[in-house]
Amino acid sequence: MLRGYLFTVLGIAIGVAGLVALGAMSERIVRFIDGGDRFVLGQISVAGRGMGMGTGFTAGGLLPAATIRAISEVPGVQGVQAQIMLPLDPSTSQFMTLTQELILGMDLSVPMPNRHYRSLPVRSGRFLQEGDRRVAVVGASFATSRGLSVGSHIKLEDEDYEVVGVLDRMLTAPDRFVMVSIADARAQWVAKDRLLRTVLASGGMALTASDLNTGAAVGWRDGDDPDAVALRIRERVPGVNVQLPSELSRLLRSSTAFFSALLAGIGALAFVIGGLSLANTMAAAVFERIRDFGVKRALGATDLQLGREVLAESLAVTLVGGLAGIGLARVLGWFIDRYLAQAQQLFHFSPRLLAGALVFSILLGAAAAAYATARVVSLSPAEAIRRGA
Amino acid sequence: MLRAAGLMKSYRAPSGTAIRVLAGVDLTVKGGEIVVVTGPSGSGKSTLLNVLGLLEDGDRGDIWFEDARVSALGRAAKSHARGRYVGFLFQSFLLLPSLTALENVLLAARYVRRSGAAIRRRAMELMQEVGVADRMDHFPAQLSGGEQQRVAFCRAVLNDPPLLLADEPTGNLDDANGAVILDALRGRARAGAAVVVVSHRPEAAVGASAVYRLRGGVLETS
């Protein structure tokens, strides 16, 4: 049935590949934003107030152990996990970029308070356990970019760490994380930050290791309103920056509004470019066979028979072209992710995208073929043969 | 088998003026007869054949296949009538390039809802008769002009139509291949079909029941 449609299939495949590839980039951005939103809505994020020394990614002040204890005593709070977030490479060229690689130190004596991430999905190996030292769990992109797997070793501030786990790809920030115990993170922080080392050595501040935290993830009791609990922390614990989950979510959404607009544009572009290419290819394929239709009508084919025939052929052609296009887009995405994007995932081929692209292709292909067929069968068989000659 | 009365057909030129091609053609062809229509290029021979075969509508006049006034039928019924009554042979063969020779022949059966081993056997017999059985799996582009026309002939006669319309069937063939096709058409007439041939070739008139010349939109006895 598909004989003679090779170039049509190729044309459709290219159109669908464009649609799917652009759609996959759009899906990737959606997942990134949704993932971040889900994360911030699952916990109350607290940092020390001010622009203190060595405050890493959070850009807040230190959050000493006494403050963490005070937070845990606020009514409604259930679980406070001290954390340290540091840029792996603190050079300005990478700092605060979307693709920044981070070290996350976590106090493993406290269960993860984030309601949406009670644990992080581990693809191989295991997650960190209380008492772990000099071991790391790495995000999927981080592992791929460095060829790491369970049992590999990495150097962090000249210290050797064994990789004990690799996370599943989450399509959000943890894909670029290196997770270690908070004790190890504190050691790295001190090693990275000359000012902090100087202050500690001078004895000018009464600091212990447990005071070296850049923030804390705070959970709330069942039935409590997280925003109300956050406000309570803000009122009762001095010297902290408390983010209301809903406020942070709004902030995240507004700060990613540009990306949302971008992805809407990408989506529209994908539909227009891919759709036009596909419809044009399919209609051209039908018009190209105008003489064949004339011959078939001379042999006794009715409009209905021809219409059914063309519809069946166009469905088959767009199905094959659509599947080929999806395959092409996936190969293209894999190649770019693997070789050009330094193992970051730029494309997300979600099932809804692939199914949507296929259904869209088939419907558009059938509609274009039906339009072209209607034009062709409106001609007399003799005219169709003449025009196709 | 075929009767046409008062057929008229005009085309509109780009300048807007009407060009009358058929100006009241009357024609009767009985089963077993071969009628040859000659005339200069542009005289309307192909148009006459197209109108007779219901490939396009005339402006006026009537056409009967056997006792059925087919010129008055609707689009779908005309398609059925073409499939049932008429076999066409064209100067440029008009084989479908994406189908093999055998598939091209079998295409004639598809639209009259005939299928299965019997019709396939019949197609192969016909191809055997005209000497293209060994080319049945070849595509048209892999066949010579003579072979393509023989395949087209098999397609035209697969359903044993009582009327065969041939438009310059030897126009693109050498003498030897042209003779094969003309012999095959005479064979169909002997088998009872009514055959109308439009041709420039004098040899097409050999054995014809009648030869007409189309001049000024009407048929004149040649």
Select the residue from A299, A383, A386 to test the B interface by mutation, using most B Cβ atoms within 10 A. A299
Enter the DSSP assignment of B194: E
Give one DSSP letter per residue of B9-38, joined into a string.
EEEE-TTS-EEEEEEEEEEEE-TT-EEEEE
Confidence of residue A57 (pLDDT cuts 50, 70, 90): very low
**Per-residue pLDDT reduced to its tens digit, A65-88:** 999 999 999 999 999 999 998 888
Q: What is the mean pLDDT of chain A?
A: 86
**Per-residue model confidence (pLDDT) at position B89:** 96
Which of chain B's residues have a Cβ under 8 Å away from the Cβ of A381?
55-56, 82
Domain chopping of chain A, boundaries: 6-32+257-388, 50-238
A141, pLDDT greater than 90? no
B135, pLDDT greater than 80? yes
CB of B172 closer than 8 Å to CB of B91? yes
Question: What's the mean pLDDT in B8-34?
Answer: 93
Q: What is the domain count for chain B?
A: 1
Chain A contact for B9 (CB, 8 A cutoff): no
| A184-A189-A192 Cα angle (round to 5) | 125
A385, pLDDT greater than 50? yes
Question: What's the mean pLDDT in B9-17?
Answer: 89
**Per-residue model confidence (pLDDT) at position A217:** 92
Give one DSSP letter per residue of A17-68, joined into a string.
HHHHHHHHHHHHHHHHHHHHHHHHHTSEEEEESS--TT-GGGTSB---HHHH
Which has more pLDDT, A13 or A91? Answer: A13
Report the range of poorest mean pLDDT among A53-57, A152-156, B145-149: A53-57
**Per-residue model confidence (pLDDT) at position A342:** 66
Which of chain A's residues have a Cβ under 8 Å away from the Cβ of B56?
380-383
Which of chain A's residues have a Cβ under 8 Å away from the Cβ of B114?
none
**Per-residue pLDDT reduced to its tens digit, A59-70:** 457 888 999 999
A55, pLDDT greater than 50? no
Chain B contact for A381 (CB, 8 A cutoff): yes
**Per-residue pLDDT reduced to its tens digit, A348-380:** 899 999 999 899 888 988 899 889 888 888 899
Handedness of CA A331, A333, A336, A341 (dihedral sign): negative
Indicate which CATH number applies to the domain containing B128. 3.40.50.300
Share of residues in chain B with pLDDT > 70 (%):
100
pTM to 2 decimal places: 0.70
User: Distance of CA B158 to CAs B65, B90, B102, B120, B196, Å?
Assistant: 19, 15, 11, 10, 17
Share of residues in chain A with pLDDT > 90 (%):
38
| Residues listed for chain A | 389
The whole domain housing B82 covers 2-221
**Per-residue pLDDT reduced to its tens digit, A232-251:** 999 999 988 888 888 888 88
Name the amino acid, one letter, at A45. S
Shortest Cα–Cα distance, A385 to chain B (Å): 9
A328, pLDDT greater than 80? yes
